[in-house]
């Protein structure tokens, strides 16, 4: 494992010798016969869990098993937005914990994740939305989260290119969280992988889990495409494939898998200086450091494990963008991709033990998976290490659906594709 720290001095040193001395960011580890903890899924949540297990809890005999390569899953297939502007008490402390971890992430893992706290502005278009955002903003402030209500003139001063004059859905104002923003998704995966590797974690790519070994109701390891691996505990952090992998242990999860598309345009000069969401439709947009507009909208609405979407949703997302800012109709779309969302019954995640002893679950992230990455890793690591929920994740229990203790942020009921 490499113990090299990135710094201005290391950059200057390598620039003087043609950048020939850089080492791989992490080892290409081969699986050992046994580990204390095996994490299934090498995305952001799995890698963050491994890092915090080693860093905060001193557990370093850990393996992260990834069926493809690091960065191939949802961690590299999202729109990079981070925020903590949640309403309900089950969600707000957790996502604020994540926001605070984002704010110190680059120093913590010694990696430039390009954290950009440019702000997140949620627009509203009628009196009911305004009242809902006032309520949300007040709830955020009660949890110590920054929130600011802007009227139409303040929004116009900040984003003058939006359609204010002849819009079908006039912009009346917005709720702004200035600490929100974007983070480079690939860098998050690479940074956590590098930091975990430096602490002794084995990151094993191209290692698909094909079975979960259970003896007398207790997990003892996993079967993989690279052979069996024994484990004291197994943690599932498989995002959209959570139901598939849990089924190997005989579990049926309260989760559906749906594809969520995202889009990037050609590069433009900077003109959107914050993340902006359209309140009259599901459309959100920001501008990347390369100048491309990054935007997305609704999931495709039907169950799928495909990492690609279909044209009706493309049309719907683009219509939302045109309604908000017609000028983007002249911009050329460069590429589109899809990620598999693990949609829970109430739109909120699950971080909990399963009915199978020594098997733990991290799933149900819906649209909120990327922004939750640091806190998800910390809370899952805490659960795996201590066998008790972290204080900010006590509401994310698997049995809450049976108890009626749902965390339905949108008030949509038990219909996963609406969350």
**DSSP states along 163-181:** --SS-SS---EEEEETT-E
Looking at the predicted structure, is the pLDDT value of residue 3 above 80? no
pLDDT tens readout for residues 171-207: 999 999 999 999 999 999 999 999 999 999 999 999 9
**Which sequence spans correspond to the domains of the chain?**
27-84+86-111+185-253+346-418, 120-181+257-343
What are 77's two structure tokens? 């297939």
* pLDDT at residue 166, rounded to an integer: 87
pLDDT tens readout for residues 55-113: 999 999 999 999 999 999 899 989 999 999 999 999 999 999 999 999 999 999 999 99
What are 68's two structure tokens? 């493809």
Angle between helices 44-57 and 373-386 (to 10 degrees): 50
* pLDDT at residue 301, rounded to an integer: 80
What is the separation of C-alpha 367 from the centre of its chain, rounded to a whole number of angstroms? 8
Q: How far apart are CA 76 and CA 122, in angstroms?
A: 24
Lowest mean pLDDT among 15-29, 127-141, 179-193: 15-29
- Degrees, nearest 5: CA angle 392-397-402: 145
**β-bridge pairing 34-40 and 62-65:** parallel
What are 296's two structure tokens? 């997305």
* pLDDT at residue 33, rounded to an integer: 97
Give the confidence band of 288 by pLDDT, cuts at 50, 70, 90. very high
Nearest to 114 by CA among 5, 191, 194, 51: 191
Nearest to 36 by CA among 170, 253, 201: 201
Tell me whether the CATH fold assigned to 27-84+86-111+185-253+346-418 matches the one assigned to 120-181+257-343. no
What would the mean pLDDT of 380-399 be, rounded to a whole number? Answer: 98
Q: How far apart are CA 160 and CA 146, in angstroms?
A: 24
Question: Any residues with CB less than 8 A from the CB of 318 and at least 6 apart, and which?
Answer: none
Nearest to 418 by CA among 344, 312, 358, 333: 344
Q: How far apart are CA 343 and CA 213, in angstroms?
A: 26
Residue 230 has, within 13 A of its CA and on its CB side, a CA count of 3
* pLDDT at residue 239, rounded to an integer: 94
Residue 97 has, within 13 A of its CA and on its CB side, a CA count of 18
Yes or no: say if 111 and 195 are a contact pair by the CB < 8 Å rule.
Answer: yes
pLDDT tens readout for residues 292-325: 999 999 999 889 998 888 899 999 999 999 999 9
Yes or no: say if 75 and 371 are a contact pair by the CB < 8 Å rule.
Answer: no
* pLDDT at residue 307, rounded to an integer: 84
77 exposure class (CB count in 10 Å sphere: 0-12, 13-18, 19+): buried
Looking at the predicted structure, is the pLDDT value of residue 161 above 80? yes
Q: For all residues of the chain together, what is the average pLDDT?
A: 95
* The residue to which tokens 């599901």 are assigned: 282
* pLDDT at residue 410, rounded to an integer: 85
How many residues appear in the chain? 419
What are 243's two structure tokens? 């139901």
Residues 120-181+257-343, CATH architecture: 2-Layer Sandwich (3.30)
Yes or no: say if 25 and 194 are a contact pair by the CB < 8 Å rule.
Answer: yes
* pLDDT at residue 121, rounded to an integer: 98
Lowest mean pLDDT among 9-13, 53-57, 122-126, 214-218: 9-13
Q: How far apart are CA 15 and CA 21, in angstroms?
A: 10
* pLDDT at residue 1, rounded to an integer: 59
Q: How far apart are CA 194 and CA 113, in angstroms?
A: 12
Q: How far apart are CA 39 and CA 65, in angstroms?
A: 6
5 exposure class (CB count in 10 Å sphere: 0-12, 13-18, 19+): exposed
What would the mean pLDDT of 150-169 be, rounded to a whole number? Answer: 94
134 exposure class (CB count in 10 Å sphere: 0-12, 13-18, 19+): middle
Yes or no: say if 85 and 140 are a contact pair by the CB < 8 Å rule.
Answer: yes
Nearest to 381 by CA among 369, 393, 371, 395: 393
pLDDT tens readout for residues 239-248: 999 999 999 9
pLDDT tens readout for residues 345-364: 999 999 999 999 999 999 99
Q: How far apart are CA 107 and CA 87, in angstroms?
A: 29
* The residue to which tokens 């955002």 are assigned: 133
Residues 27-84+86-111+185-253+346-418, CATH architecture: 3-Layer(bba) Sandwich (3.50)
User: Can you give 6-74 as a three-state secondary structure string?
Assistant: CCHHHHHHHHHCCCCCCCCCCCCCCCCCEEEEEEECCCHHHHHHHHHHHHHHCCCCEEEECCCCCCCCH
- Element (H or E) spanning 242, and its range? helix 242-247
């Amino acid at each position: 494992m490499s113990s090299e720290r990135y710094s201005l001095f290391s950059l200057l040193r390598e620039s003087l010798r043609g950048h020939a001395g850089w080492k791989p960011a992490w080892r290409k580890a081969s699986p050992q016969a046994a580990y204390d903890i095996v994490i299934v899924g090498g995305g952001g949540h799995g890698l963050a869990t491994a890092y915090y297990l080693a860093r905060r809890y001193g557990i370093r005999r850990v393996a992260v098993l990834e069926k493809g390569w690091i960065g191939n899953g949802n961690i590299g297939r999202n729109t990079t937005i981070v925020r903590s502007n949640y309403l309900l008490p089950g969600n707000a402390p957790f996502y604020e914990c994540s926001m605070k971890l984002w704010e110190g992430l680059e120093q913590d893992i010694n990696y430039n994740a390009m954290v950009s706290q440019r702000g997140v502005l949620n627009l509203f278009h009628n009196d009911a939305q305004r009242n809902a955002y006032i309520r949300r903003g007040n709830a955020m402030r009660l949890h110590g989260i920054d929130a600011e209500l802007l009227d139409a003139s303040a929004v116009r001063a900040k984003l003058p290119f939006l359609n204010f004059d002849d819009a079908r859905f006039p912009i009346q104002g917005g709720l702004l969280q200035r600490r929100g923003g974007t983070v480079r998704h690939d860098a998050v995966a690479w940074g956590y992988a590098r930091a975990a590797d430096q602490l002794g974690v084995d990151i094993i790519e191209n290692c698909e889990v094909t079975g979960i070994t259970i003896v007398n109701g207790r997990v003892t390891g996993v079967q993989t495409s690279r052979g069996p691996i024994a484990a004291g505990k197994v943690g599932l952090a498989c995002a959209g494939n959570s139901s598939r992998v849990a089924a190997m242990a005989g579990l049926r999860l309260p989760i559906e898998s749906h594809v969520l598309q995202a889009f990037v345009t050609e590069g433009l000069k900077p003109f959107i200086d914050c993340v902006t969401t359209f309140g009259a439709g599901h459309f959100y947009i920001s501008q990347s450091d390369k100048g491309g507009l990054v935007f997305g909208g609704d999931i495709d609405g039907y169950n799928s494990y495909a990492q690609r979407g279909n044209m009706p949703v493309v049309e719907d997302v683009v219509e939302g963008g045109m309604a908000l800012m017609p000028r983007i109709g002249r911009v050329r779309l460069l590429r589109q991709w899809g990620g598999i969302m693990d949609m829970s019954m109430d739109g909120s995640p699950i971080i909990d033990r399963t009915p199978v002893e020594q098997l733990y679950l991290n799933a149900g992230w819906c649209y909120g998976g990327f922004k939750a990455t640091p806190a998800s890793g910390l809370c899952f690591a805490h659960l795996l290490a201590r066998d008790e929920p972290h204080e900010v994740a006590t509401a994310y229990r698997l049995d809450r659906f049976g108890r009626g203790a749902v965390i339905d942020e949108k008030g949509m009921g038990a219909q996963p594709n609406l969350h």
